[in-house]
Structure 1
Amino acid sequence: MSHEILVGLNVVDDLTYEDYRTAMKPMLADYQGRFGYDFKVSEVLISEGNTDINRVFTLNFTNKEKMDGFFSDPKYLLVKEKFFVKSVGSATIISSYEK
């Protein structure tokens, strides 16, 4: 059974965010992770939080331990600091579930 998260972001710098995605994808694959769906959205009708969302996607891993390892990997954290922090105004984990 795989583990998946549904994420909403407020991307404020598309070019730097694409640099982030390019830099993190090989590491994502190392942890047996992949993007399932990826949407740019223009309007959010209902939100439980008080954050803007203009990007929604799923990340799928073979299991939760792989996901946890990916997000705590020191190499990933460097890429996150270099690109993600500068390009994303807010991040919301909408859901996390076994698939």
Structure 2
Amino acid sequence: MSFEMLLALDVANDEIYAQYRREIAPILSRYHGSFGYDFKVSEVLISQVSASINRVFSIRFPSEDMKNQFFHDKEYLTVKQHYFTPSVRATTLIASYEKPDN
């Protein structure tokens, strides 16, 4: 089993957000995390939130505990503050779930 989250973002600055993704890559790797799917979205037909959405992706970890460790990692939090915060207007957690390994 692995732990996966499906997230939606409203990315305001693609360049800064791309730098965020580059900067977190080695940190994510340390926690055996990875992105499963990643979409740029041009039209949202149905949403349960009022925030705009222009990016949808899945991120997975071996366990929920590893996910928690990643998102509380001090180096990750520094990168998030520097790149994610100024580049993303809104974050929506669509779902989180345990997923059987393929």
**Aligned residue for 1:9?**
9
Task: Please state how far the C-alpha of 1:56 moved relative to its aligned partner.
Answer: 0.2
Q: Is 1:60 the equivalent of 2:71?
A: no
Scaled by the length of structure 1, what TM-score is found? 0.99
**Aligned residue for 1:74?**
74
Instruction: List structure 1 runs of 4+ shifted beyond 4 angstroms.
Output: none
**2:8 and 2:25 mapped to 1: Cα distance?**
18
Task: Please state how far the C-alpha of 1:86 moved relative to its aligned partner.
Answer: 0.4
Q: CA RMSD in A?
A: 0.4
Task: Please state how far the C-alpha of 1:47 moved relative to its aligned partner.
Answer: 0.6
Task: Please state how far the C-alpha of 1:20 moved relative to its aligned partner.
Answer: 0.2
**Aligned residue for 2:37?**
37
Q: Which runs of 5+ in 2 are unaligned?
A: none
Q: Which amino acid aligns with 1:70?
A: F
State the identity as a percent: 49
Task: Please state how far the C-alpha of 1:11 moved relative to its aligned partner.
Answer: 0.3
**Aligned residue for 2:92?**
92
**2:40 and 2:93 mapped to 1: Cα distance?**
16
Scaled by the length of structure 2, what TM-score is found? 0.96
